[in-house]
Amino acid sequence: MYVAVKGGERAIDAAHAWLADERRGDTGIAALSVAQIREQLTLAVNRVMAEGSLYDPDLSALAIKQARGDLIEAVFLIRAYRTTLPRFGASIPVDTTKMAVARRVSATFKDLPGGQILGPTFDYTHRLLDFALMAEGEAPLAAPPTPSPSPQGGGEAVLSAASATLDTQAPPSPLEGEGWSGGATSAHIPHVMSFLNRDGLIETDALGDATPPDLTREPMELPASRPLRLQALTRGDEGFILSLAYSTQRGYGRTHAFVGELRIGTVAVEMDIPELGFSIEIGEVELTECETVNQFTGSKTEPPQFTRGYGLVFGQTERKAIAMSLVDRALRWRELGEDFVGAPAQDEEFVLMHADNVQATGFLEHIKLPHYVDFQSELELIRRLRAEATGHKEAAE
């Protein structure tokens, strides 16, 4: 039990004023604008959108500014704002094969249709501080190289430096040149998993017609269906999901995963309009999608084959998407007929009930609020126990 704080309004108002002053910092330095945060701290903005369950880069940038860079506090602000928004309907499932891809890599197939698109990534950078960024003005960015004309003609371009294959000496894939250009491409890009599907080497996802439960409007219920688990994971704290995923790689869970495909890009969001009788596009969102290939020895009803782990997150959030796919696969042990080995990532209640950083923050930080009644009762108990122990000792002597 804790008691509400009474009085002290002047102190609280002063604390808020001090907080605003700390947020602003040195007034001799230009204030950081929301547009600057949105355009230059995009990965932080993407994380806030993903864990806040609201796709709005401007509002996420505003929340980061208001929270002084505390991303969990920014997520809290976004979720609180989200509850005030009306809901007009539900969009139809997005088709990620039609994604305008900016990055697409596979760790399982070197030569895949369309090639491997590196896109914007830290993967091949040297982790050295770039002190040039501290200069008053940055050097202008070099112009991207002009794409080469496609061998097929028609003005199309093959993969350029902005979307280069991992191995430029490798023979071109069958689809190279068919709509592939520098930067994002909107060509139809099949998933790598479909190649394994043709030979029956990987499980086929059973897509049901039932509408999945909405975690933002309904409380978590266990045992949870896979759609509900995926919702919880995509909203979960990136650090927590990352730690669980790492634990599966170190042996705390019977998974050994390869990244079948990781892709980042924008997809169209469509909505059915009953009055029109067809769906219309209402906007675009940037997504990161990861599918992992995992070993599976088979069961009484299924032959040996590969199984899947899946992650889908708002924005360019590939670390989270990969981690999510590993944890998703670890949680599927029951439906795949595997043994529970006691790993934390396999424990549905442990994972889902502790992944939410807003819920965890609220419960954690409430202990700094006044608990005077609780503490006084425990203090009296300790004093009584000590007095009884002292009395027994004196009686024994």
Domain boundaries, the chain: 9-82, 96-113+189-205+214-355, 370-396
In this prediction, residue 1 has a pLDDT band, given cuts at 50, 70 and 90, of very low
Any bridge partners for residue 292, and if so which?
A: 259, 309
Q: Would the pTM count as exceeding 0.85?
A: no
By CB atoms closer than 10 A (0-12, 13-18, 19+), residue 49 is: buried
What's the rounded mean pLDDT across residues 72-95? 92
In this prediction, residue 164 has a pLDDT band, given cuts at 50, 70 and 90, of very low
Q: Looking at residue 269, what is its pLDDT?
A: 94
What's the rounded mean pLDDT across residues 2-8? 55
Q: Looking at residue 274, what is its pLDDT?
A: 86
Question: Comparing 26-30, 67-71, 102-106, 316-320, which segment has the lowest mean pLDDT?
Answer: 26-30
284-330 per-position pLDDT tens digit: 999 999 999 887 766 666 677 888 899 999 999 999 999 999 999 99
What's the rounded mean pLDDT across residues 6-20? 81
| Contact (CB, 8 A) for 155 and 181 | no
Contacts of 27 (CB under 8 A, 6+ apart): none
Residue with tokens 């350029």: 160
| Closest C-alpha to 351, from 247, 212, 207, 214 | 247
Please say if the pLDDT value at position 180 is more than 50: no
In this prediction, residue 158 has a pLDDT band, given cuts at 50, 70 and 90, of very low
Please say if the pLDDT value at position 143 is more than 80: no
Give the residue with greater pLDDT, 90 vs 167: 90
In this prediction, residue 177 has a pLDDT band, given cuts at 50, 70 and 90, of very low
Question: Comparing 22-31, 67-76, 223-232, which segment has the lowest mean pLDDT?
Answer: 22-31
Please say if the pLDDT value at position 25 is more than 50: yes
The alpha carbon of 290 is separated from its chain's Cα centroid by a whole number of angstroms, namely 11
Question: Comparing 164-168, 194-198, 210-214, which segment has the lowest mean pLDDT?
Answer: 164-168
Enter the tokens of residue 11: 């102190």
By CB atoms closer than 10 A (0-12, 13-18, 19+), residue 332 is: buried
Q: Looking at residue 189, what is its pLDDT?
A: 79
- The rounded mean pLDDT for the chain is 82
In this prediction, residue 271 has a pLDDT band, given cuts at 50, 70 and 90, of very high
Select the highest-mean-pLDDT range: 68-72, 141-145, 160-164: 68-72
219-266 per-position pLDDT tens digit: 888 898 899 999 999 999 999 999 999 999 998 987 788 999 999 999
What's the rounded mean pLDDT across residues 358-364? 90
